[in-house]
A and B are shown apart, each in its own frame.
Chain A
Amino acid sequence: EDQVTQSPEALRLQEGESSSLNCSYTVSGLRGLFWYRQDPGKGPEFLFTLYSAGEEKEKERLKATLTKKESFLHITAPKPEDSATYLCAVHVSTGGGNKLTFGTGTQLKVEL
């Protein structure tokens, strides 16, 4: 069974304190790994798609990386406005159709 696990569940950082969020997956036939940001009471906002091990993508203070077993979302010098829940999801090739399987998310809080 395809599984996606995110850690930590919650993370509290001081402004400027860099850190990484983890998304580990056990799937058969990864076709893509996606990162989303979700603010309270809103729908998820698309951040990145990664397709193959070794791939990296960046956007402002965020950088996503992918290996064969996990993905990291690195946050460099975070600001309070980076506070949100970060979700990762995988798209698999076998029997899943176009579905994404989501992890339970990491709730990030960045304090002044």
Chain B
Amino acid sequence: GAVVSQHPSRVICKSGTSVKIECRSLDFQATTMFWYRQFPKQSLMLMATSNEGSKATYEQGVEKDKFLINHASLTLSTLTVTSAHPEDSSFYICSAKGGWNEQFFGPGTRLTVL
């Protein structure tokens, strides 16, 4: 149980384009999902907390107009990187909150912006 999927696993795009990443909880409902970014050899950096049916809460320094988050159902949250630039290249990971505040993570999405 507690499986979280992400799609796509890897994406390469041109500078200025937008990219959407999907995060799904496959066998449980998640009212809260989280989006993280991880740079090489660094720990996870929380970008935002996504609550089903309401606006996401962004961490300090994260541009909400650049990283659009939608949590339209109890099993799906999406992150859209708008007008992507090379500095947005990173490993993006989502997680879904379980019943005891543990978080179950997706496999991650490697974004490369050319």
Contacts and interface: CB of A to CB of B under 8 A. Distances in A.
B43 A32 contact: no
Contacts of A104: 42-43
A68 interface: no
B38 to A, nearest CB: 9
Contacts of A32: 100-102
Contacts, number: 54
Contact of B46 (A42, A45, A87, A99): A99
B108 A98 contact: no
Contact of B105 (A41, A45, A99, A105): A45
Main SS of chain B's interface residues?
strand
B43 A87 contact: yes
B100 A49 contact: yes
Interface in A10-69: 31-32, 34, 36, 41-46, 49
A22 B25 CA distance: 31
A34 B100 CA distance: 11
A31 B102 CA distance: 11
B53 to A, nearest CB: 15
Nearest to A49: B102
A97 B46 CA distance: 13
Interface size bucket, B side? 20 to 34
A111 to B, nearest CB: 20
A97 B57 contact: yes
A23 B110 CA distance: 28
Contacts of B62: none
A43 B108 contact: yes
A80 B107 CA distance: 22
A49 B102 CA distance: 7
A31 B43 contact: no
Interface of A: 31-32, 34, 36, 41-46, 49, 87, 89, 91, 97-100, 102-105
14 contacts: A32-B100, A42-B107, A45-B105, A46-B2, A46-B105, A49-B101, A87-B44, A91-B101, A97-B57, A98-B34, A99-B46, A100-B46, A100-B103, A105-B43
